[in-house]
Amino acid sequence: MTDGGSRGYGAAMARAPHELVATVLVAPRALPELEVALMARDLWVWPLATAPTCEDGPRLATQTVRRMVTARRGAWDLAWDWVPVWVSFGRSWREGEEPLPWSAHAALWDALEGFAEHVRYRKWLGGVAPLPVPQGGDVAAERRRAS
């Protein structure tokens, strides 16, 4: 009897490429200011409704708001009409295939604390399909090309 290869847990499973992001609900009027503040730290804001890696962004955005707000059982009811965004980490935070350094996590949470009245989030990162991180000065042009 021959062994057809490794049969252990996850032996044939290859993880799809992904990157870590924070999912954040943002008050619409605070979104432009938050985006600029995060860009200065090489952190990138991607509204779910228009994220280039979402097949059905508007639907995902609606589902995300519903899931996040209802999970807090009334504590976040003011955020029903807020914008769900992913915050990704720019190239300066990445070290090849290494995990994100804790300093990247700390920079993100510190930046979001500065907008505490206008954001709601869990201190948790989730994996999504890789987002096209802008390079150089024209972020708007980079995003148009990516979508």
Q: What is the pLDDT of residues 16-49, one digit of tens each?
A: 788 999 999 999 999 999 999 999 999 999 999 9
**pLDDT tens per residue, range 110-140:** 999 999 999 999 999 999 999 987 665 544 4
DSSP letter for each residue of 16-81: PP-EEEEEEEE-GGGHHHHHHHHHTTTEEEEEGGG-TT-TTHHHHHHHHHHHHHHHTTTTTGGGTT
Q: What pLDDT is recorded for position 12?
A: 60
Q: Is the pLDDT of residue 51 over 80?
A: yes
Q: What pLDDT is recorded for position 136?
A: 58
Closest CA to 68 of 24, 2, 131: 24
Q: Which residues of 17-55 are buried (b: 16+ CB within 10 A; e: fewer)?
A: eebbbbbbbbbeebbeebbebbeebbbbbbbbbebebbe
Q: What pLDDT is recorded for position 64?
A: 98
Q: How confident is the model at residue 15 (pLDDT cuts 50, 70, 90)?
A: confident
**pLDDT tens per residue, range 58-104:** 999 999 999 999 999 999 999 999 999 999 999 999 888 888 999 99
Q: What pLDDT is recorded for position 17?
A: 83
